[in-house]
Copies of this chain bind each other. A is one copy, B any other.
Amino acid sequence: MNILVCDDDREIVEAIRIYLENEGYTVLKASDGLEALQIIESQPVHLIIMDIMMPHMDGLRATIKIREEASIPVIMLSAKAEDTDKIMGLNMGADDYMTKPFNPLELIARVKSQLRRYTTLGSLEFRDSVYQTGGLVIDDESKQVTVDGEEVRLTPVQYKILRLLTANAGRVFSIDQIYAKVWQEDAYGADNTVAVHIRRIREKIEINPKEPKYLKVVWGIGYKVEKL
């Protein structure tokens, strides 16, 4: 389990690191929100402990960004004890918060609580580097996709969509959700943009695109990759 600790105060980061590593977690460090985002994109992170007040990009805004891209549980740290701060953090997507100074045992308890919840519910996160369902295999490190051992060349957008669906095989994603996850949550395109990409992916990975084996549509709801 990788836990990202994000705080500009190195002493606090170090203290937290010791407690977490004592419990067997792997600790990654970041000193501001931008750095945190970079780390999240480059390696699997299962939980984030984040300070609200930081230079460059503050913790709240970083949390929002993180929420847009992956649902990783976030525990916020706050130097202030004011309720308004707490509530803001929770409403903006944090799962829990603590005020500094905090009790180390309490920190551990909260981390465990969040991780238990997270593993129970299943995640949108890309925890492994290889995803598989039936004969469909996606190696996220080499960005290689194979169907029944045969390599398939996908374009970047196609790859992102298929990875999202395969990494969460069995789960249905609405067109809106796919759009939000694959593109930046900016403006909306034409309603059938995603449909066209789905069609193109099917042409490449399905034997018969009209009777898809992997990439299925759930009428009125969205698309999913079958869990095989």
Q: Are B117 and A219 within 8 A (Cβ)?
A: no
Q: Are B83 and A143 within 8 A (Cβ)?
A: no
Q: Are B128 and A103 within 8 A (Cβ)?
A: no
Q: Are A143 and B218 within 8 A (Cβ)?
A: yes
**Are A172 and B141 CB-contacts (below 8 A) given A87-B106, A103-B83, A219-B155?**
yes
Q: Least Cβ distance of A171 to chain B in Å?
A: 5
Contact of A90 among B86, B87, B113, B143 (CB under 8 A): B113
Q: Which residues of B contact A117 (CB under 8 A)?
A: 95, 117, 121
Q: How far is the CA of A121 from the CA of B173 in the complex (A)?
A: 10
Contact of A121 among B91, B96, B105, B174 (CB under 8 A): B174
Q: How far is the CA of A142 from the CA of B221 in the complex (A)?
A: 10
Q: Are B113 and A95 within 8 A (Cβ)?
A: yes
**Are A142 and B227 CB-contacts (below 8 A) given A83-B103, A95-B117, A103-B83?**
yes
Q: Which residues of B contact A120 (CB under 8 A)?
A: 71
Q: Which residues of B contact A83 (CB under 8 A)?
A: 103, 105-106
Q: How far is the CA of A144 from the CA of B221 in the complex (A)?
A: 12
Contact of A171 among B108, B142, B221 (CB under 8 A): B142
Extra contacts, 8 of them, besides A86-B106, A141-B171, A142-B227 (Cβ < 8 A), are A71-B120, A90-B112, A91-B112, A95-B117, A117-B117, A117-B121, A121-B128, A143-B172
